[in-house]
Amino acid sequence: MGVLTALAILAGLIVVHEAGHFLAATWQGIRVSGFSVGFGPALLQRSRRGVVYALRAIPLGGYVAFPDDEESSPFPADDPDLLRNRPLHQRALVIAAGVIANLLLAWAVLLAQGLVLGIPAGYSTAPGVMVAGVQPGEAAANAGLRSGDRIVRLGDRQLAGGQQAVADLVNQIRTSPNHSLAIAAERQGQSIELMLTPADQGGVGKIGAQLQPHGDEVFRRPRGPLEPLRQANHDLIALTRRTVAGFATLITHFSETAGQVSGPVKIVEMGASLARQGGASLFLYTALISINLAVLNALPLPMLDGGQFALLLLEGLRGRPLPERFQMAFMQSGFVFLVGLSLVLIVKDTSQLPAIQQWLGR
């Protein structure tokens, strides 16, 4: 059930993104010929009012199709309702609408969390720090840490609880690159002793693990009807900043961070784990993945919204459209790159699933 929930959330986020493009176009009277979730051959297909709605075989995204791109289009090339014949600002709105839709959805999910569960008020005071996720091949995994372990001692010092315990442990890790740290952890009722050696990344220690306070997150009732709105605004800005910073680090330190990139399999695995926990974890997962889709699509890469926006910007600077041959080459190269990257990440993430590693005898 957890996997199905995660898949449903991911599919829903894709639908929302494409619906942003679709609604921005139809609201302006721009002709649309197709709305697809996925790529490749259609599994389910229905035509309504000249628009073909389809669920396709390769679940790596989706797209909205326009008659402009069809050789057999029944509309004349000078039709004012074709996307390419609309002013720059109208086309820009259509391109940007997918990113805007994902950010609005993330905000709505965070607002729903405040209305349904309440305002986050920290964690229950239980000692230790939980390991919520471990990157294969990184320092934490090499030391023997696993997702679900609870770190209870660092050296001779017992760890307290809450966010402060996480901050203390993270600070010790960051200031100890290439220095071994003796830790004690609990795993399924068993106590284990490990030596953790943070890797040196630009003078800062990194272990490749997600740490969080031990215990359940605590929520309180809102102090007035406007507090959920303020909290949603604050969380959206904070999560977006962290996501942008993460992509910036990936780009500027690609050789060091490439191994931490995850694809759809890892995203679904993480979502399935959080879906089994339910509650706040599922709200946060949905908002965070929606923000990640928005930021990813805003990158100026071929086939992404940011790449199309960059072409539109160049057209505005030149005062006329770019050569069609250049646009086609730009988009085709992006398609090959994104499909190739997706396949590599799918194979990598699948090979790291616990069931697959057990089958391989690792």
Can you tell me whether residue 23 is helix, strand or coil?
helix
- H-run or E-run covering 238: helix 227-252
- H-run or E-run covering 3: helix 2-27
Q: What is the DSSP string of 276-336?
A: HH-THHHHHHHHHHHHHHHHHHHSS-TTSHHHHHHHHHHHHHHTSPPPHHHHHHHHHHHHH
Query: Amino acid letter at 257?
Result: T
Please indicate whether residue 18 is annotated as part of the active site.
yes
Distance CA 129, CA 183 (A): 11
**359 CB contacts (<8 Å, ≥6 apart)?**
none
Burial class (CB in 10 A: 0-12, 13-18, 19+), 186: middle
Catalytic residue among 18, 70, 186, 193: 18
From the list 39, 11, 13, 5, the residue with the least C-alpha distance to 342 is 39
Beta-bridged to residue 62, according to DSSP, are: 37
How far is C-alpha 265 from the chain's CA centre?
Answer: 12
Active site residues: 18
